[in-house]
C-alpha cells in the first residue's frame, strides 16, 4: 500500500487537492480570525470564507502564501473534510474566548488525525465507551447512575482505579496533553465518530486533580453526546459523575466523617490517598449524602481555604499519570516500522505539534516550567500553535522507576502482514 507524504506536496498539487476545512484548522491553530488571515495574504475575508467552505479553490501561488504565513507545509491543506462531528466540552464558555475554543478544537482534531496515521501500522483498542445520556434538567441521581453503569460495563466493581488514563486508553479513548501555549483552556474533550479524545492541561501539576479531570471528561463522553456544552448544569453533572466514578459512595460512605474533628481530617487524608481523589471532593460527597450538615460543610471548606488548600492540597503522590497509547505507538513504528520522520511527513503537521501530540509528558520550555502550577494560565490573547518559538524545548524529567512503569503502557502482541497489533497494558 502506498502512503502519501503530505509534507512533500508542491503548492500546485495542494491547490488541486485543496480541502477548505484544513485551512480552517490551520487558521484556528494560529489563533487568527478570517480577517487577519486575509490581511496576511492580501485577499478579502470573503475569499478566505470561500476557500474554507470549498466554494472556491486558491491558486497555487495563494496556497504557497497561506502555507508561508501560517507556517505549515502546502500538504497540510490536503486531507478529507471533517469537523461537523466535533462537540468539544469546555469548563466555562463565558471565561473561554471563541478563538481559544476554536484553537483547542483544532488541536484535538489534529490529535485524532495523528492517531489515524499510526493506525495504518498499529492497532489501537477499539472504542468501547458506554452511552448513558443524562439530560441537563435531570433532577435525580443520573450522573451517579451513569458512573455506576460505566463501572459495571468495564467490570470495575467497587475497587480503586489505579490509573485513570490507562483505563480510558484501554477503552479506545485518546489522551494527549495540550501545548503549554494553549493552557488558557483547561482539560476538555470531544467525541468523534472514529475515536474520542481527552485533552489535558500540561500545567496542572497535581495528580489528584488530573485524575478528576480525566473522570470529568469521561463523564461528558458518556452522558452528554447530544447536550449543548458549557452550561453550569452540564459541568456539575460531570463533576458528580467523576466523584462517583473515582470513589463509589457504596465503598466510601461508611468512612466519610459526620463531625469535623481533628481525627476527621486524618480520615479524609487516608481516603484521599487510597482513592486518588481530593479532600474537597470527599467533603462534597459527605455533604451530598447527608453525612455532613450544611454548616459543618461550610466550616470545613473555610478551613480548607484558610490552609491554602483550595488551590493546592497536600498529597503523597507527586508523579502524574501519563498517556501511553500514542507514545508507545511511536516507539513501535520507530523500532519496527517506517520511522518517526515518515510518520511526521504523513501527518503533515509541524514537528512541534507532532511532538506535543505524541509526548508521554508535556514538553515545556524553562519559562513554562516555572509557571507550572495547579491552575491553568488564563491569557487575554491566544498564542499561535504554529509559529515556532526561539527558546529551547526540553522534556520534563521523570524518575527512572516511573519511566519503566509507563513504558509498559502498550505492548506488542503480534505482527500480521507487517502491521503491529498493540493493546494497552492493564491499568
Name the least confident of 278-287, 311-320, 380-389, 395-404. Answer: 395-404
Euclidean distance between CA atoms 45 and 73, whole angstroms? 22
Are residues 219 and 242 located together in one domain of the fold?
yes
Mean pLDDT of the chain: 83
Are residues 145 and 65 located together in one domain of the fold?
no
Confidence of residue 194 (pLDDT cuts 50, 70, 90): confident
Euclidean distance between CA atoms 305 and 298, whole angstroms? 11
Are residues 328 and 385 located together in one domain of the fold?
yes
pLDDT of residue 278: 96
Are residues 351 and 227 located together in one domain of the fold?
no
Are residues 214 and 290 located together in one domain of the fold?
yes
Are residues 257 and 406 located together in one domain of the fold?
no
User: Would 251 be classed as within a structural domain?
Assistant: yes
Sequence-separated (6 or more) residues with CB below 8 Å from residue 279: 268, 269, 272, 304, 309, 313
User: Would 108 be classed as within a structural domain?
Assistant: no
pLDDT of residue 315: 94
262 is written with which cell numbers?
A: 481533628
User: Would 98 be classed as within a structural domain?
Assistant: no
User: Would 282 be classed as within a structural domain?
Assistant: yes
Percentage of residues in the chain with pLDDT exceeding 90?
A: 59
How many domains is the chain partitioned into structurally? 3
Query: Between 380 and 101, whose confidence is greater?
Result: 101
Are residues 154 and 263 located together in one domain of the fold?
yes
Euclidean distance between CA atoms 152 and 378, whole angstroms? 38
Are residues 235 and 324 located together in one domain of the fold?
no
Interior/surface letters 43-65, b for 16+ CB within 10 angstroms, e for the rest: beeebbebbbeeeebbebebbbb
Whether the Cβ atoms of residue 424 and residue 341 lie closer than 8 Å to each other: no
Question: Residue 359 pLDDT more than 80?
Answer: yes
Structural domain boundaries enclosing 264: 127-176+188-197+206-306
Domain boundary among 81, 103, 118: 81
Mean pLDDT, rounded, for 148-163: 97
Euclidean distance between CA atoms 4 and 362, whole angstroms? 29
Are residues 293 and 333 located together in one domain of the fold?
no
Euclidean distance between CA atoms 324 and 170, whole angstroms? 10
Question: Residue 61 pLDDT more than 60?
Answer: yes
Name the least confident of 55-59, 87-91, 382-386. Answer: 87-91
Euclidean distance between CA atoms 258 and 4, whole angstroms? 63
User: Phi and psi at residue 175, in whole multiples of 5°?
Assistant: -130, 125
Q: What is the CATH number of the domain that holds 20?
A: 1.10.260.40
pLDDT of residue 5: 45
Domain boundary among 279, 306, 333: 306
Are residues 331 and 269 located together in one domain of the fold?
no
Euclidean distance between CA atoms 208 and 329, whole angstroms? 27
Query: Between 372 and 173, whose confidence is greater?
Result: 173
User: Would 58 be classed as within a structural domain?
Assistant: yes
Whether the Cβ atoms of residue 107 and residue 29 lie closer than 8 Å to each other: yes
Are residues 262 and 338 located together in one domain of the fold?
no
For 379-419, how does the pLDDT look when each residue is reduced to its tens digit (9 = 90+)? Answer: 445 778 886 443 322 222 223 223 222 333 333 333 333 34
Whether the Cβ atoms of residue 10 and residue 41 lie closer than 8 Å to each other: no
Euclidean distance between CA atoms 119 and 114, whole angstroms? 9
Pairing mode, strands 419-424 and 122-123: parallel
DSSP run (H or E) holding 421 = strand 419-424
Name the least confident of 94-98, 131-135, 203-207, 355-359. Answer: 94-98
User: Would 312 be classed as within a structural domain?
Assistant: no
Domain boundary among 274, 306, 338: 306
User: Would 47 be classed as within a structural domain?
Assistant: yes
Euclidean distance between CA atoms 316 and 240, whole angstroms? 24
* Residue 302 CB burial class (10 angstroms; 0-12, 13-18, ≥19): exposed
Are residues 135 and 229 located together in one domain of the fold?
yes
DSSP 8-state code for residue 383 = P
DSSP run (H or E) holding 363 = strand 363-364
User: Would 116 be classed as within a structural domain?
Assistant: no
Amino acid at each position: 500500500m502506498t502512503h502519501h507524504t503530505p509534507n512533500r506536496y508542491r503548492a500546485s498539487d495542494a491547490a488541486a487537492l485543496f480541502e477548505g476545512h484544513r485551512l480552517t484548522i490551520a487558521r484556528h491553530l494560529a489563533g487568527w480570525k478570517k480577517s487577519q488571515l486575509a490581511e496576511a495574504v492580501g485577499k478579502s475575508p470573503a475569499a478566505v470564507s470561500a476557500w474554507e467552505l470549498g466554494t472556491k479553490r486558491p491558486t497555487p501561488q495563494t496556497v504557497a502564501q497561506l502555507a508561508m504565513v501560517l507556517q505549515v507545509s502546502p500538504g497540510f491543506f490536503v486531507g478529507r473534510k471533517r469537523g461537523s462531528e466535533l462537540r468539544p466540552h469546555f469548563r466555562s464558555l463565558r471565561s473561554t474566548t471563541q478563538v481559544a475554543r476554536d484553537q483547542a478544537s483544532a488541536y484535538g482534531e489534529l490529535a485524532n488525525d495523528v492517531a489515524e496515521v499510526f493506525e495504518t501500522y498499529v492497532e489501537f483498542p477499539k472504542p468501547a465507551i458506554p452511552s448513558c445520556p443524562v439530560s441537563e434538567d435531570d433532577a435525580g441521581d443520573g450522573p451517579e447512575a451513569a458512573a455506576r453503569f460505566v463501572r459495571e460495563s468495564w467490570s470495575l466493581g467497587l475497587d480503586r482505579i489505579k490509573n485513570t488514563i490507562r483505563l480510558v486508553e484501554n477503552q479506545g479513548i485518546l489522551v494527549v496533553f495540550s501545548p503549554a501555549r494553549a493552557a488558557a483552556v483547561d482539560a476538555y474533550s470531544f467525541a468523534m465518530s472514529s475515536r474520542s479524545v481527552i485533552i489535558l492541561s500540561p500545567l496542572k501539576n497535581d495528580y489528584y486533580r488530573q485524575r478528576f479531570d480525566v473522570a470529568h471528561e469521561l463523564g461528558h463522553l458518556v452522558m452528554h453526546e447530544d447536550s449543548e456544552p458549557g452550561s453550569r448544569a452540564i459541568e456539575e453533572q460531570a463533576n458528580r459523575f467523576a466523584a462517583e466514578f473515582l470513589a463509589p459512595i457504596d465503598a466510601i460512605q461508611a468512612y466519610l466523617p459526620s463531625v469535623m474533628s481533628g481525627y476527621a481530617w486524618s480520615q479524609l487524608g487516608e481516603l484521599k490517598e487510597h482513592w486518588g481523589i481530593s479532600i474537597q471532593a470527599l467533603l462534597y460527597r459527605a455533604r451530598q449524602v447527608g453525612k455532613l450538615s450544611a454548616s459543618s460543610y461550610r466550616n470545613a471548606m473555610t478551613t480548607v481555604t484558610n490552609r491554602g488548600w483550595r488551590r493546592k492540597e497536600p498529597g503523597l503522590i507527586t508523579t502524574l499519570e501519563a498517556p501511553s497509547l500514542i507514545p508507545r505507538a511511536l516507539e513501535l513504528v520507530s523500532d519496527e516500522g517506517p520511522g518517526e520522520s515518515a510518520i511526521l511527513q504523513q501527518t503533515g503537521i509541524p514537528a512541534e505539534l507532532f511532538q506535543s501530540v505524541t509526548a508521554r509528558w508535556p514538553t515545556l520550555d524553562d519559562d513554562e516550567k516555572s509557571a507550572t502550577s495547579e491552575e491553568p494560565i488564563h491569557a487575554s490573547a491566544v498564542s499561535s500553535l504554529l509559529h515556532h518559538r526561539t527558546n529551547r524545548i526540553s522534556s520534563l524529567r521523570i524518575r527512572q522507576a516511573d519511566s519503566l512503569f509507563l513504558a509498559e503502557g502498550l505492548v506488542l502482541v503480534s505482527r500480521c502482514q507487517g502491521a503491529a497489533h498493540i493493546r494497552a497494558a492493564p491499568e
